[in-house]
Structure 1
């Protein structure tokens, strides 16, 4: 790095006139600068010393500008070789990162950076620069081109950059293999190539005298083995290999990296396997060892080696480790965070031994194994703040939990725990508690004072809890009581308990009474789910627009009456009112919800014209209007439960989002013909137009719906013959054309040979298999029916434009949606806990410089 020498014998030299002129011209040339007072260039005044301007540093002896930093300055425009920027020939450090040079291309003949012959450090990160990696700048010692939309390949002439010490090409789109010469740049101290599109096998040889201290290859697409020569990098302190495609065993030479501090091998897309080498556990400076999400199956046995005394974080999760816990772990006494989750460990897990072995333990993850847990009342774990024992065959609350007065996050979900939730569990330090998917029936009394708890997340969904809804903390941010047996009214003052909440669900209980208007004071709610209860009365008029952050509002499956609210938050993405008794019209104010993805108004009494204006909602993906009285003259990131009538049966599909594409406009009052335009919806899986007043022929253009699995056109007034072309629909497993006025022979072949007679009943003019009525021989011998001219588009009776608008981004209609957020599965638990315990846990986790 450049370190300017300053003369202590003289005052700093003022900016030279030609330097000031070049800077002012650069400011005024082709850029638009923000008028915000935060812009560095606002301090650039002609009557002041340019060396005092923000973002400028000068050489104290000569007055030449040697450093220019305009990062995050909202610059927009182009730079060509004639730019005044390149008149600053003494410039050594240039930072233009985080601006918007949308049209610049490094490959352009106007490329002017080589004119800056003294430049040692160039940072153009996230500035919109594009093209191939620039090779003209051979004098650079630091090259930072992170997130620049660069493309590959990396040319071998990059080896000319002999002085390069830091190469950052992360978050680009190089789409090439790594040239061998990259490992021969002896001056490189840091190589950061994460998320840059590199692929292929990593170069086989690292040099013996490499000065490399940091190597980051995260989120690349390498394959094959990690080269044995990685052991040559004796000065390496940081090694990031997460989310690559490396496979095979780790090279034994990795034990030579004695300076290593952070070994990150949390490899969601790697396939390292075999036995983890004991040398990994002996590296004297190693602090974090992350081996999660691989295929390791064995730990080395305890042997005659000295374990690392600095190792504080060990992640062995999501591998194939099996059998009892290795004795190796019992000698790693400095561990603060231990993650053994999602393996095949079995046998006895003696928490008493863990208590003695890991006195500094702060976080312990044991979830998804086959333990038989043993514990005792006298266990202490004095520093333990997070314990995750999801799906660990636990049948009762471990008694040692009484002693964990510093516990901040506890996950006992998906076990077989039954009975009451003990009142001693409500520790004042507890931030997150997940007891979901157990057999719990109630809460021991007395309940704690809501003002005494700091709990931010409580998830008890999918139990058998009864009685009234308990509200245990006024600090709550995430509260999930769904799928229990609570039977009570919603408290009239519920808003006071949810003042900080962003998620509240009581779906799938037996709640009665009205929705209290005080819930509208919970102005931070993003998700409100009161579905599948027995709530009655009208929807409070404030409920559609009470929170400026509202994303999901689900009131489906109740006994609500009246009309829909007339105002809605523009942030809304999911609105579900299905299965109530709502009347009136669909509020046109929904047209302002430009992010709306799910609109389910099915199974109500809404009497309105078809809402064609919904076609203006660019994100609309799920539209359900079934069983109403519509007429004319159909991520989040959360998990959803999708209920739909498909293939003739009511089905529930969990954890599906935007997988099925479906149109369900059944049980309405639509009239007119089915237009051939529907054949353009080529991603359609489910089409249900049953129970309407549609007439005319079945369009042969349906043959283009090659993904179609379910077709229901029953209970209409369709006429003509069934198009023979439909035999092309080889995925079709359900069809219902009953109760129409169809005639002629039923197509034969492919899927049509599997459909029962009930698919065609109520059409007296039909004949052929599987009906008992035989067709005339002459008619059976006819070639496939050509589509008749009767399938002309409806002339104004039913406009299908709204169905096609937005279909390119995946219009999904006909899905009656609810959702299930599984806090215990990870992201909700981690975000809540991390947020609220950050100050307390920070000292226990590794600080990376």
Structure 2
């Protein structure tokens, strides 16, 4: 290895001298030099040998999961004779060989989520995504995954209630249960997740009210996606004290009453979608944050005139159609960049891009 280091040094700093050495080696010591190179090439690469092999207990669990899913072709690489850290749809920790991620998606897989997933104690990331033949309920064994921080069970046909035991997964930062067939009410205990940054419950068949507990999350306020359900009632007044970092989507439900307290000059939320509900409040009294870039209020019962403060926003999307608004659309800012379909079907709204006010 000293020789190799010296060669590397001369390559960088004494190229001319190396050329002379190379000519000597080439003419007099070809057999010896070639043998030396072959020996070096045959040595194992440190980067490859440093990767720990799959833990044998984890390997048994993975093979049980494959069996419970009826040995799908999607998991054909899960060969018991091969190191499982090389298998498709999973990842090992390089140092320990423990399975830390299981990401099964877009495959022709039927059945239910195997309870054995709870027997991968070092799992941090679990995904069953875009598996339309995956049915049944979320197994309670998932609560054993105390290291889990990312859980996505979406675009499947999972059904039943959203289980309250998910609140036991205290390390979760991301929970996505969207595009499923979950029914029943939203469990209030989900607000107890102290590290949650995003909660997706959209595109299900959930009913009932938004839990009062969601007005006070245990940690930071997560981005909240509740759209395309059958939620009803009013938004808890305590939501007025929350500061969503980015997204708030309550669209396409049956929510009603006043939602004006969701807005405010000091809010950090950038995207608000309250469209296709039954909200009813005077928009002329609302103050909007300069952080807001996406505001969709279409198909509600909102009344009053559009406040001039909207002209100060750098809006990328704006829609107040199908409400009960009146008065002139304020001139300036981004408001005239949106077409008439963002404003039409209001009681007496007028001005560019609608017809001129009389």
TM-score normalised according to structure 1 size: 0.33
Following superposition of structure 1 onto structure 2, how do residues 106-121 of structure 1 map, counting pairs within 5 Å? none
Contact 1:678–1:701 under 8 Å retained in 2: yes
Instruction: Name the counterpart of 1:281.
Output: 9
Equivalent position to 1:552, from 150, 164, 171: 150
Which structure is richer in relative contact order (CA contacts within 8 A, separation 6 or more)? 2
3-state SS, counterpart of residue 606 of structure 1:
strand
CA distance in 2, matches of 1:354, 1:706: 70
Structure 2 regions of 5+ residues with no counterpart?
1-7, 23-32, 63-71, 91-96, 236-243
Equivalent position to 2:139, from 525, 534, 541: 541
Contact 1:674–1:698 under 8 Å retained in 2: no
RMSD over aligned Cα atoms: 3.8
Instruction: Name the counterpart of 2:79.
Output: 472
Contact 2:129–2:152 under 8 Å retained in 1: yes
3-state SS, counterpart of residue 15 of structure 2:
coil
3-state SS, counterpart of residue 750 of structure 1:
coil
Equivalent position to 1:629, from 221, 224, 230: 230
Q: 1:590 to 1:502 in 2, by over 3 A?
A: same
Instruction: Name the counterpart of 2:322.
Output: 739
CA distance in 2, matches of 1:676, 1:566: 28
> 1:90-141 CA distances to partner (integer Å, 9 max, x unpaired)?
xxxxxxxxxxxxxxxxxxxxxxxxxxxxxxxxxxxxxxxxxxxxxxxxxxxx
Equivalent position to 1:585, from 170, 185, 200: 185
Instruction: Name the counterpart of 1:610.
Output: 210
3-state SS, counterpart of residue 264 of structure 2:
helix
Q: CA deviation at 1:740?
A: 0.7
CA distance in 2, matches of 1:735, 1:500: 48
CA distance in 1, matches of 2:86, 2:189: 29
Matched, 1:666 2:274: no
Equivalent position to 1:385, from 37, 45, 59: 45
Q: 1:546 to 1:477 in 2, by over 3 A?
A: farther
3-state SS, counterpart of residue 532 of structure 1:
strand
Contact 2:187–2:211 under 8 Å retained in 1: no
Instruction: Name the counterpart of 1:574.
Output: 174
Q: CA deviation at 1:744?
A: 1.2
Instruction: Name the counterpart of 1:727.
Output: 311
CA distance in 1, matches of 2:273, 2:317: 11
CA distance in 1, matches of 2:14, 2:294: 57
CA distance in 1, matches of 2:309, 2:298: 19
CA distance in 1, matches of 2:35, 2:228: 60
Q: 1:597 to 1:750 in 2, by over 3 A?
A: closer
Instruction: Name the counterpart of 2:270.
Output: 685
> 1:436-482 CA distances to partner (integer Å, 9 max, x unpaired)?
xxxxxxxxxxxxxx99x9xx9xxxxxxxxx93413135864686528
Contact 1:527–1:551 under 8 Å retained in 2: yes
User: Which structure is larger by alpha-carbon Rg, 1 or 2?
Assistant: 1
Contact 1:515–1:535 under 8 Å retained in 2: no
Structure 1 regions of 5+ residues with no counterpart?
1-279, 284-298, 307-326, 328-352, 361-380, 388-406, 410-428, 433-449, 457-465, 483-498, 635-658, 777-849
CA distance in 1, matches of 2:307, 2:38: 72
Q: CA deviation at 1:749?
A: 1.5
Aligned pairs, how many?
A: 310
Following superposition of structure 1 onto structure 2, how do residues 484-499 of structure 1 map, counting pairs within 5 Å? none
Contact 2:321–2:344 under 8 Å retained in 1: yes
Instruction: Name the counterpart of 1:524.
Output: 122
Contact 2:278–2:300 under 8 Å retained in 1: yes
> 1:345-391 CA distances to partner (integer Å, 9 max, x unpaired)?
xxxxxxxx99975853xxxxxxxxxxxxxxxxxxxx2113267xxxx
Q: 1:675 to 1:589 in 2, by over 3 A?
A: closer
Following superposition of structure 1 onto structure 2, how do residues 177-326 of structure 1 map, counting pairs within 5 Å? 281=9, 302-304=15-17
> 1:538-567 CA distances to partner (integer Å, 9 max, x unpaired)?
224314413222222211111111112231
Q: CA deviation at 1:505?
A: 0.5
Contact 1:676–1:702 under 8 Å retained in 2: no
> 1:181-218 CA distances to partner (integer Å, 9 max, x unpaired)?
xxxxxxxxxxxxxxxxxxxxxxxxxxxxxxxxxxxxxx
Q: 1:620 to 1:358 in 2, by over 3 A?
A: farther
Q: CA deviation at 1:531?
A: 1.3
> 1:677-703 CA distances to partner (integer Å, 9 max, x unpaired)?
611453222111111111122255444
CA distance in 1, matches of 2:53, 2:282: 62
3-state SS, counterpart of residue 144 of structure 2:
coil
Q: CA deviation at 1:633?
A: 4.4
3-state SS, counterpart of residue 562 of structure 1:
strand
Instruction: Name the counterpart of 2:339.
Output: 756
Matched, 1:600 2:200: yes
Q: CA deviation at 1:500?
A: 4.3
> 1:322-347 CA distances to partner (integer Å, 9 max, x unpaired)?
xxxxx9xxxxxxxxxxxxxxxxxxxx
Contact 1:736–1:759 under 8 Å retained in 2: yes
Contact 2:286–2:307 under 8 Å retained in 1: no
Contact 1:479–1:504 under 8 Å retained in 2: no
Instruction: Name the counterpart of 2:29.
Output: none
> 1:642-692 CA distances to partner (integer Å, 9 max, x unpaired)?
xxxxxxxxxxxxxxxxx9712111112221223256114532221111111
Matched, 1:774 2:356: yes
Following superposition of structure 1 onto structure 2, how do residues 55-454 of structure 1 map, counting pairs within 5 Å? 281=9, 302-304=15-17, 360=40, 381-385=41-45, 408=49, 431=53
Greater share of helix residues, 1 or 2? 2
3-state SS, counterpart of residue 321 of structure 2:
coil
Contact 2:284–2:304 under 8 Å retained in 1: no
Instruction: Name the counterpart of 1:330.
Output: none
CA distance in 2, matches of 1:699, 1:543: 51
Contact 2:74–2:108 under 8 Å retained in 1: no
Contact 1:359–1:383 under 8 Å retained in 2: yes
Contact 1:541–1:565 under 8 Å retained in 2: no
